[in-house]
Amino acid sequence: MKYSARLMVLIFVGGAAAVFSELTNRGGRSTAIVLITLGVALGELMVLRPPHRTPIPLSYAFMLVLVRGADPWVCIGAIALAELAVLPLRDGDWAARLAQSGQHLVAGIAALTAYEALMAVDQLGPTPRLLTALAAAGVAALVVHEAAAAFTDPRWPEVGGADLALVASGMLMAIGFRGVEPGESVGLWSVGLFSIPLLAAWYSFERLALISRTSEQTIEALSVVPELAGLAPAGHAARVAELSVRVGDQMGLRRRELEDLRAAALLHHLGHLCLDAPEARERPIEPSEVSDQGAEILRQTDLAAAGDLLATDDARVGSQILRAVSAFDDLVSRDMEASEAMDALYSGPGFVYDSRVIDALDRIVASAPSV
Amino acid sequence: MSDQRESRTTVYCVGLALAAAALGAVLGVRGPLPALTPLIALSLLHVFAENQITDLTPELGSSAGVMLCTAAIVVFRTDQSALGVLLVGAAGGLYLPHLIHRDWRKLLFNCAQFALVAVASAGVFWTIVGSGKTSPGLLLLAAIPTALTYSIGNVVLVSMAVVLSTGQRFRDVLLVGSREYFVFYPFALLGVFLGLLYLDYELALVPLFLVPLIVARQAYSSYLALKRSHEATVRILVGALEAKDPYTAGHAERVAEYAQYIGLELGIPPNRLERLRLAALMHDVGKLVVPNHLLNKPGKLTAEEFDIVRKHEDVSVEILTRIDFLAPVAPSATSEAAQFSPIADDRGQPVEPHIVAVADAYDAMTSTRSYRRALSQEIAFAELRKNSGRQFHPRVVDALIAALRRRGEVHGAGHEMYVHHVSAPSGHLGSAGLGDLLPDGEVEDDADSTVRS
């Protein structure tokens, strides 16, 4: 089902539930709770995707409104209902969907627990206490979210603006909905309107994610051109890129360096396209010519750092990795066993390949011979 | 800008600034003075909003202005301090680039128009709700006519400035961008809430309000930077790679530019326009797999060579399909998809392949190739018109011709940016046909009727 259709389904079902609630319990709080529950459900499908960060659903902001505006059991019930409602609309297999919904329910419960615990502290004045409790609730939800994400990606999360925007908007919506003292609240309208800055952030991150993906896919697509022209074995660029990043990761390269290494690996045969065909030349094409030509092209773009890695006179670790891994893939592509290819690299002249790189590559090959 | 227009615009801006200053003086003498803390806080927020957001999207900058002016109107409602509203409004005109470049006229104009519009809006809001205790519902209701007043005042004052500086008709200027003013209404409502929150909690909640806006701004700024960088990278990569064929150097970039002209002329929305421009830039990327000697062959191709050259379309499609954003317009790279068919058009087929086809053919005709010299622009137009409704989409052909004429651009023989000295035959009416490239010895059925790109 299309993304917009999924949102429409939720809006239709939630809207119908709100109308029913209003008809059966006119003037009560149940309609507002139903609509906030709808916000949680919609927020499950609208996700902030900051770069280098686990995506965070907007639902956490709406959960803060429930935490503040509903009784504890109603809050848990509403979050559970929203998680159930989005279950059929999520991507992935059913096990993954259940895990995601369950994890978000736990995050909601953690938020509620943190909120209730801090609201019980009498030493603070009403406004600081409420602000602290809501902030703690938001942080608790995010901690659970990150703890769950750590199972798949154990790296320390890059917490940043998206987290702040989510918690700040949630706090503002919660205070707008119920106020600090009874009678101060603006009501349900505030939830809709204070979600506008958060939606603006969501839209901006969506655009950023789209252009980042397009940029990556463009490099990947261009990497295939030399292969389609018969200048490199099929799949060579993708394999070299993947293996280079694994070697670089093992050798402790930073995220930015790994990104440059990946781009350089994907495009390391690009220069070949600019060289004259062998039959039109006096001497055969040397690999160094291909690399230097590629470096020259990439240096004119924002991929200049990747271009530097291609240059034959570059002695940085990234260049060494690229050279060794490319040679390894060339050998394996000629039906050589991985172990034999490693032996060939080890027996090569010492000044050609960096021994630390070969060792790291060997460890990876040994751990997964299918490489 | 002519001297006369220049001086008229200056008189208008100075006049507006004097009016705002006079109003400020009267309000200062007669009315209550505003409380200092909200005045400073809201003014700083207004300066911040205009400077942080306006350079990204002007309409969002203005909507932040309507929000903060509405907040000031709510905050200063109890003591009816119109001077407070005026000063908060005027703060929005302090746009840093204007200050740095000492563009005093723009500074005066913006401060004055924001101030006057804010006071007019406050008049409407306070007339409706008064200064006593009021329900949030009535405040929200009053925000609608307030935003209407703000938008009318803003559009009239800004349009006047544009009319005076450019000489355009007032009605034409008024209509441009009027749709953007719909964004004002939700932001005016948001301003009411911001004002109420300020009254209840003073500055404690302002950071909560600011954080998501700043984050949104930073993410959008990163998006714009990456978008520019990505397009520049593709442009350079494609340009460097296509340099292997000196006859088509710069071709992709020109096709992208013509496609953009056509897209704008046809009113294609910005997102699709972005897609179209990138697809046009990469439409010939498959040609990279064609050996140089075939691309640069002066004479006719053999049947085998022709098949190899033809294969590049499939490669282009494969490359574009690998990029999700461009996949929907990947058929732009094939001549079949670009072939006009009235039936397909009635079925609402996408127009992008036709745009790329026309832009591609126009550039092919107006630049020198290994097999013939560049045609003149008029011959190229004649060829496009002759094939309009058959090979080419008529609306697209008309759009390209209209766009180029409007811009006063002339391309083709005598106007080429890169001129190659070749022994290729001169171009003339009918010489743009596929026959130029047909395999040796093959007879073309309708040689003159098909423009080859």
Q: Cβ of A297 and B233 within 8 Å?
A: no
CA distance between the termini of chain B? 41
Interface of A with B in 138-197 (CB under 8 A): 161-162, 164-165, 168-169, 171-172, 175-176, 179-180, 184, 186-187, 189-190, 193-194, 196-197
- pLDDT per 10-residue tile (average), chain A, 371 residues: 86 90 80 92 92 89 94 94 92 90 95 94 84 95 90 72 92 86 69 85 90 91 85 88 91 89 89 72 73 83 84 78 88 82 77 80 78 55
Chain B residue with CA closest to A218: the answer is B323
Task: Say if CB B191 and CB B76 are below 8 A apart.
Answer: no
Alpha carbons B364 and B358: distance in angstroms, whole number: 10
Nearest alpha-carbon partner for B12 in B172, B147, B162? B162
Same domain, A282 and A348: yes
Task: Say if CB B285 and CB B334 are below 8 A apart.
Answer: no
SS3 call for B249: coil
Query: Which residues of chain B have a CB within 8 Å of the CB of A277?
Result: 291-293
Task: Say if CB B107 and CB B132 are below 8 A apart.
Answer: no
User: Domain tally for chain A?
Assistant: 2
Q: How close B136 comes to chain A (CA, Å)?
A: 6
Domain boundary among A211, A244, A261: A211
Q: Is residue A329 part of a domain?
A: yes
Query: Which residues of chain A have a CB within 8 Å of the CB of B217?
Result: 204
Q: Is B200 on the interface with A (CB under 8 A)?
A: yes
Query: Which residues of chain B have a CB within 8 Å of the CB of A273?
Result: 241, 244, 288
Alpha carbons A300 and B211: distance in angstroms, whole number: 37
Cβ contacts of residue B379 below 8 Å, gap of 6+? B365, B412, B427, B428, B429, B432
Q: Is residue A331 part of a domain?
A: yes
Task: Say if CB B109 and CB B80 are below 8 A apart.
Answer: no
Write the residue in A172, A180, A302 that is nearest to B229 by C-beta.
A302
Same domain, A246 and A360: yes
Same domain, A46 and A107: yes
pLDDT at position B59 is 46
Write the residue in B136, B293, B315 that is nearest to A228 by C-beta.
B315
Nearest alpha-carbon partner for B416 in B381, B364, B348, B379? B364
**Domain range holding A261?**
229-367
Q: How close B7 comes to chain A (CA, Å)?
A: 41
Query: Which residues of chain A have a CB within 8 Å of the CB of B218?
Result: 161, 204
Identity at A100, one-letter amino acid code: Q
Q: Cβ of A218 and B220 within 8 Å?
A: no
Task: Say if CB B59 and CB B187 are below 8 A apart.
Answer: no
Write the residue in B189, B205, B234 that is nearest to A175 by C-beta.
B205
Same domain, A153 and A256: no
Q: Is residue A84 part of a domain?
A: yes
Q: Is A84 on the interface with B (CB under 8 A)?
A: no
pLDDT at position B327 is 84
Between chain A and chain B, the number of residue pairs with CB atoms below 8 A apart is 171
Q: Is B244 on the interface with A (CB under 8 A)?
A: yes
Chain A contact probe: residue of B208, B218, B287 with most A CBs at under 10 A: B208
Domain boundary among A211, A243, A276: A211
- pLDDT per 10-residue tile (average), chain B, 453 residues: 80 93 92 89 86 56 76 89 92 87 89 93 91 80 89 86 81 64 76 83 79 82 85 82 70 89 88 87 81 71 78 83 84 67 63 87 82 78 86 89 85 65 51 38 42 48
Query: Which residues of chain A have a CB within 8 Å of the CB of B213?
Result: 197, 200
Q: Cβ of B319 and A208 within 8 Å?
A: no
Q: Model confidence over A233-280: pLDDT tens digits?
A: 888 999 999 999 999 998 888 888 899 999 999 988 888 877 766 666
Complex-level ipTM: 0.83
Chain A contact probe: residue of B215, B284, B297, B309 with most A CBs at under 10 A: B215
Q: Cβ of B291 and A277 within 8 Å?
A: yes
Same domain, A274 and A199: no
Q: Is B216 on the interface with A (CB under 8 A)?
A: yes
CATH number for the domain spanning A240: value is 1.10.3210.10
Same domain, A269 and A176: no
Q: How close A274 comes to chain B (CA, Å)?
A: 6
What's the helix, strand, coil split of chain A in %, to 5? 75, 0, 25
State the CB neighbour count (10 A cutoff) for residue B305.
18
Q: Cβ of B214 and A161 within 8 Å?
A: yes
Query: Which residues of chain A have a CB within 8 Å of the CB of B243?
Result: 274
Same domain, A185 and A101: yes
Q: Cβ of A214 and B323 within 8 Å?
A: yes
Same domain, A191 and A267: no
Say if residue B25 is exposed, middle or buried (CB neighbours under 10 Å; 0-12, 13-18, 19+). exposed
Write the residue in A131, A200, A300 that is nearest to B240 by C-beta.
A300
Same domain, A128 and A201: yes
- Provide φ and ψ at B432, rounded to 5°: -85, 5
Q: How close B314 comes to chain A (CA, Å)?
A: 11
Query: Which residues of chain B have a CB within 8 Å of the CB of A197?
Result: 209, 212-213, 216
Q: DSSP state, A229?
A: T
Write the residue in B209, B212, B236 that is nearest to A301 by C-beta.
B236
Q: Is residue A73 part of a domain?
A: yes
CATH number for the domain spanning A81: value is 1.10.1760
Write the residue in B209, B216, B291 that is nearest to A200 by C-beta.
B216
Q: Is residue A45 part of a domain?
A: yes
Q: How close B150 comes to chain A (CA, Å)?
A: 19
pLDDT at position A197 is 84
Alpha carbons B436 and B445: distance in angstroms, whole number: 13
Q: Is residue A220 part of a domain?
A: no
Alpha carbons B110 and B112: distance in angstroms, whole number: 5
Same domain, A195 and A241: no
Q: Which domains, from first to last, does chain B contain?
A: 3-219 (no CATH), 243-449 (1.10.3210.10)
Q: How close A70 comes to chain B (CA, Å)?
A: 21
Interface of A with B in 192-221 (CB under 8 A): 193-194, 196-198, 200-201, 203-205, 207-208, 210-215, 217-218, 220-221
DSSP string, B355-380: HHHHHHHHHHHTS-BTTBPPPBHHHH
Same domain, A203 and A241: no
Q: What is the dihedral of CA A286, A292, A295, A296, to 10 degrees?
A: -130
> Could you tell me the pTM of the whole model?
0.77
Chain A residue with CA closest to B230: the answer is A215
Query: Which residues of chain B have a CB within 8 Å of the CB of A222?
Result: 237, 285, 319
Domain boundary among A161, A178, A211: A211
Q: Dihedral of CA A217/A222/A225/A231: which sign?
A: negative
Interface of A with B in 49-68 (CB under 8 A): 50-51
Q: How close A215 comes to chain B (CA, Å)?
A: 6
Q: Model confidence over A292-345: pLDDT tens digits?
A: 888 888 888 888 888 888 887 777 788 889 888 888 888 888 877 888 888 888
Interface of A with B in 291-320 (CB under 8 A): 297, 300-303
User: Structure tokens of B234?
Assistant: 């593709």
**CA-angle at A276, arms to A273 and A277, nearest 5°:** 90
DSSP string, A166-195: HHHHHHHHHHHHH-SSTT----HHHHHHHH
Q: Is residue A216 part of a domain?
A: no
Query: Which residues of chain B have a CB within 8 Å of the CB of A171?
Result: 208
Say if residue B132 is exposed, middle or buried (CB neighbours under 10 Å; 0-12, 13-18, 19+). exposed
Q: Is residue A288 part of a domain?
A: yes
Q: How close B72 comes to chain A (CA, Å)?
A: 17
Query: Which residues of chain B have a CB within 8 Å of the CB of A2?
Result: none
Distances (CA, A) of B386 to A77, A189, B157, B362, B395: 69, 60, 48, 13, 13
Same domain, A63 and A133: yes
Query: Which residues of chain B have a CB within 8 Å of the CB of A64?
Result: none
Count how many residues are written for chain B. 453
